[in-house]
Structures are given as C-alpha cells and as structure tokens.
Amino acid sequence: MSSASSKKDATRIGIAMVLGLIIGMILYNTGQGDLVSYVKPIGTVFIRLLKMMIVPLVLSSIYMSMVNLGTPEQLGSMGRKAMGYYFVTTAIAVMFGLIFVNLINPGVGADLGTQGLEGLSTSMSERVQSNEGLWKTVIGVIVDAIPTNPFGAMANSTILQVIVFSIMLGWATLYHMKESEPITKFMGALEHLSLVMVNGIMKLAPIGIFVLMLDVMAKSGYGALVSLSKYILTVLVGLLCHACFLMFIASWRLKKSPMFIIRGIFPALMTAFSTSSSAATLPVTMKSVEENLGVHNETAKFVLPLGATVNMDGTALYESVAAIFIAQAYGIDLSIGQQMIIFMTASLAAIGAAAIPGAGLITMSIVLGAVGLPLEGIGLILAVDRLLDMFRTTVNVFGDAVGTIVVDSYLDREG
C-alpha cells in the first residue's frame, strides 16, 4: 500500500472515531442514548467479522511463516528474539505502572469502603503460600497452553492453544517437507484467502469504529470517572510513558519518524481502541505493519499472532497500578517484597489474559491473590474498566507492532 493510501485510511478512521465520540456524547447528554441500539448491530457485525478471521489466520500464518523460514535454526533465532522483546518490554511496562502509582498514590485517602479487609494476609506463613501461588500460576499458564484437542481449541477460539498446535505442526513440517506438501499448499491457500477477506472487512472499518465509539460514549456515565479520576490518570500517564518508550524504540529500529509510524499503524490502533480486543485487531495489525511499515512478511506472520496472545504491556501496567490502588484504598501498606510479587504476577497475569475485552480484569485475581489483597477490591475499579480497557488494548497492540519491527530489524541486520 502506498503512503498516500495509508494516510487516507488513517484519516478516514480518525474522523470516524472523533465523530463517534462527539455524537455519542451529545446523545448521552440529551438523554437519547437509547437511539444507538438501532445502529449497534453494525459495530457487532464488524467485530464478529474480525473475530471470524482469527483462527484461520493464526493457524495458517504461523504455519506458513515457519515453513517459509526454512530451517529450525532461523525459527529458533526469531522465537528467542521475540520472547526477549516481550519479556523486557512487559517488565518495563510494569515498572512504569509501579513508579507512577507510587508517585501519584491514587488510592490514598480514597473513600471506597473497607469491605474484605478480613481476607488480608500478613503473616509469614501466608506469604509463603503466596509464593506457592505464584509458582502454581506459572505452571498453570504453561499447562493450559497445551491443547488436548487442537480442533477443540480452534472451535473454542483458544488462541494460545491454536498457536502451540500451529508451531508444532510447522516444526514437524520443517523436518518432513516432501510428505507435508498437501498441507503446506492448503495452509498457503487458507492464508492467502484470509488476507483477501481481511482486506474486504477493513472497508467496513470507518463505519464499524464510528458505531462502536458511539455506543461506548452514549452508554457510559461520568460519575465513576470523577470519583476514580486519580486512578484513571495514573493508568493513562503510565500507558502514555510506555507508548513513548515504545515509539522511541520503533523509530530507532525502523529509522522512520514517529509520525510515519503512527500513520502506518493507525488503523490497528483505532481498531484496538474501539474493540478492546488484541485478537480481533490481529488481522488489521498484520495488514498495517506489512503494508504500511514494510515489516518482512515472515516476521509479521510469526511474531504478531504470538504477541497478540502473550505480549500485553498495557494490561501488565494496568494490573500493577490497579493492585496497588486497591491496596492503598484499603489502607494496606505493601512491602517492597510484596511489590516485587506484584511485579512478577502482573507480568504473568498479562501473559495469561486472553486477548479479549475485560480479560485483564479477570486475571487481576491472580495478582491480588498472590499478595493476599481482598478480591472484592476488583469491585472498586469495575466501573471504569471498560474505558481503561480501550487504552490498554491500544498499547498492547502497539507493543506487538513494535515487537515485530524490532525482531525484523535484527533479523535483517544479520542478514
């Protein structure tokens, strides 16, 4: 795609989003929010079409990327680089979260009730239990990634399991190229047709995004925004800093201006913002990084599906802020050791979170449980979760795209 048409796409989608926000706000303020229900199905159709593409695209693109790479060594090298990137950037995201939540202290003095305090664990033996919980969580995430039935995983859209199966199938193919020819042909065709369909679906993006924004704005009240404004601010400042850090890396590795990068990835960022799902955004992210940012096709096909599922910088940052906010709101002092446990569990919870709306809120229980904070605390942040999900998903997707740029740039250099 030319830079001019990527500019056009970005402009159209940007206008659609802003219009959706403004008109939605007007409808909310004039008490006409219900009107949105007439057009909402358009947004639902857009999301469903994107979701329809996830399993065929993940299955075929990971497989084909492995087969095209040719050797297990090259594949291992790409996998190691991607994992290294995910690990480092997720840790940095959590660090940003911890820094800002400790600086801004959004929960200190918040009058949010003290229910659940009795569930607090402070004794040494309970700390030990927390560490056991952490270990169990690590093992749980790994074991759950292995499908007992790959077709079941596909039928249920359990993406991490589909990825594991595709990687194993691709791996086996690398050693038996001749015997796998029919499967490779089938996967190649499936991948090609999936991309053709994604191109068609993306024609709907401006109207889909417009309606989704309209719906969010027309439905949500402002009350919760005010009482939780310091908490929202902490999450947003953290996300912004992390996004700037990611942009710096992307700009350095791609040797392009931030403006060029934003424009290229804009359709994916806006789709992430309006759908709150990295998985639903995956087809758009793939299209954007390949066509607009010139990332090598084989890298994008392997690194992006993996990233959409396990690399969630925004979610990790959000989980660390939310856990400490809850502790502060309950008046609980967390030791450095407990903050370290939050650091680790927030990263794990982000890896374990499905790339769907609200998943981060569900895996919050891992973080809270590990340091013995009351699970009822989740109730405190529920009201603004939908709003924050939009922002953290956008950063998740941005992190995936930058990861692809970084891995690709190092592969190119090696040559």
Q: Write out the residues near ligand ASP by the rule CB under 6 A.
A: 276-278, 312, 315, 353, 355-360, 389, 392-393, 396
Q: How many residues does the chain have?
A: 415
* Least CB distance to ligand ASP at residue 35 (A): 27
Between 274 and 328, name the residue whose CB sits nearer to ligand ASP.
274
- Please give the full DSSP string across 202-237, using - where no structure is assigned: HTTHHHHHHHHHHHHHHH--SHHHHHTHHHHHHHHH
Between 33 and 399, name the residue whose CB sits nearer to ligand ASP.
399
Maximum alpha-carbon separation in the chain: 67
Between 6 and 396, name the residue whose CB sits nearer to ligand ASP.
396
State which amino acid sits at residue 174.
L
* Least CB distance to ligand ASP at residue 181 (A): 36
* Least CB distance to ligand ASP at residue 353 (A): 5
Count of CB atoms within 10 A of residue 271's CB? 30
Q: What are phi and psi of 215, to 5 degrees?
A: -65, -45
Cβ 313 vs Cβ 246: under 8 Å: yes
Between 1 and 95, name the residue whose CB sits nearer to ligand ASP.
95
State which amino acid sits at residue 213.
M
User: Helix, strand, coil shares of the chain as percentages rounded to 5?
Assistant: 85, 0, 15
Between 75 and 384, name the residue whose CB sits nearer to ligand ASP.
384
* Least CB distance to ligand ASP at residue 312 (A): 5
* Least CB distance to ligand ASP at residue 319 (A): 8
- Side-chain half-sphere CA neighbours of 213 within 13 A: 24
* Least CB distance to ligand ASP at residue 7 (A): 26
CA distance 365 to 372: 10
Between 82 and 312, name the residue whose CB sits nearer to ligand ASP.
312
Cβ 171 vs Cβ 183: under 8 Å: no
